[in-house]
A = this chain, B = another copy of it.
Amino acid sequence: MDLSERKLRILQAIISDFIRTAEPVGSRTLSKKFDLGISPATIRNEMADLEEMGFLTHPHTSAGRVPSERAYRLYVDDMMKKKELSEEEKNAIASKLYENVTELEKTVQHAAKILSEITNLTSFALTPSPDEDTLKYINLLPVDEDTVVLMIVSHSGKVSNTALKIKSPYTEEGLELLAKNMTYNYRGKTLSEALTLDIIETFESDIEAMGALAKNVMPKFIRTLEEMLNVNLYMDGLTNIFSIPEYNNIDKAKMFLEMLGKKEDFTKTLINRDNGVIITIGKENAEDIMQDCSLITATYHVDGKLAGKIGVIGPTRMRYGEITSVVEFLTENISNTFKLSGGGKDD
């Protein structure tokens, strides 16, 4: 059987009605709401065909039709119009995005907030994965007799530092030497490369005093690198699910929130997704726990390289077209803003 023009029109009507109302749509309703020029009886026949072809399902005999995941996939791939945002909408979003905010971390967090407000879904944002970020500069600064500050600067402009206690007395020259040595050894290495690079013998064989100092510094250095490698996950609009019919019972809501409560797992899921605007529907999601959710994610870039993600998660019934546009616009906007080396809108 073929998907005739008319079948497509009917399917589209069903999908868009169902997305709006969350109610199974019947032939009568459909013929009233959409001017398809055919009677309910004809629609019923076509619906039966569409069901046979796997695009519709039936909650029970005497209920209307509901789009299947396959229908959503078709809709997303071929049928939905991306609903270009109007200039006003774009301006409103952009100005909201940078309200009081100039740093990447905050901007990204803010983007999640805007996204959940616009979509009425749960949104999330992932800070850039520092995979390609390389070390630029390492310094050790004396503060006290027994405290020094370890400072690490990456090429992307990330700065990180920790105070650390030094057990044995140190000299400023020792510190400086070690810092220079570390910079020399690590500069240009990515953070993860730096982590695997075992460098401590270099110091030992080199100069005695520096070796002792290095033994003090290295564990903290490694821990700081690990911390710099972490990405942050922000979420917003978590309680939005309570107004979504699909989650209007305690158990469903609980499962949903518990899933999102496992931040590490969820982060991993997001990192593993391809770049660009990606939509996964229901069982297309690898994770058992997401089998009746849809995910829309998009990637933004910082400095043209480091990539982070923002997106939304909700029931398979969601306004794919509008959401895709918003997500896309947000990521483009962020990427443009943080295009310049060093991380953004500095003042």
Contacts and interface: CB of A to CB of B under 8 A. Distances in A.
Contact-residue size bin, chain A (C-beta under 8 Å from the other chain): 20 to 34
Nearest to A136: B143
Copies in the complex: 2
B143 A153 contact: yes
Interface stretch (A37-45, A158-166, A305-313): A158-166
A93 interface: no
Nearest to A142: B137
Interface stretch (A62-70, A246-254, A321-329): A246-254
Contact of A261 (B220, B238, B248, B249): B238
Contact of A239 (B159, B254, B343): B254
B258 A342 contact: no
A149 B151 contact: yes
Contacts of A143: 136-137, 153
Nearest to A248: B250
B141 A151 contact: yes
A198 B238 CA distance: 41
A147 B342 contact: yes
Contacts of A136: 143
A153 B149 contact: yes
Interface in A234-280: 238-239, 242, 248-250, 253-254, 257-258, 261
A315 interface: no
Interface in A154-199: 157-159, 161-165
A201 interface: no
28 contacts: A137-B143, A139-B141, A141-B141, A147-B157, A149-B151, A151-B151, A153-B163, A157-B163, A158-B163, A159-B162, A161-B161, A163-B343, A165-B342, A165-B346, A220-B347, A238-B257, A238-B261, A239-B254, A239-B258, A242-B250, A242-B253, A242-B254, A248-B250, A249-B250, A250-B250, A250-B253, A253-B253, A257-B257
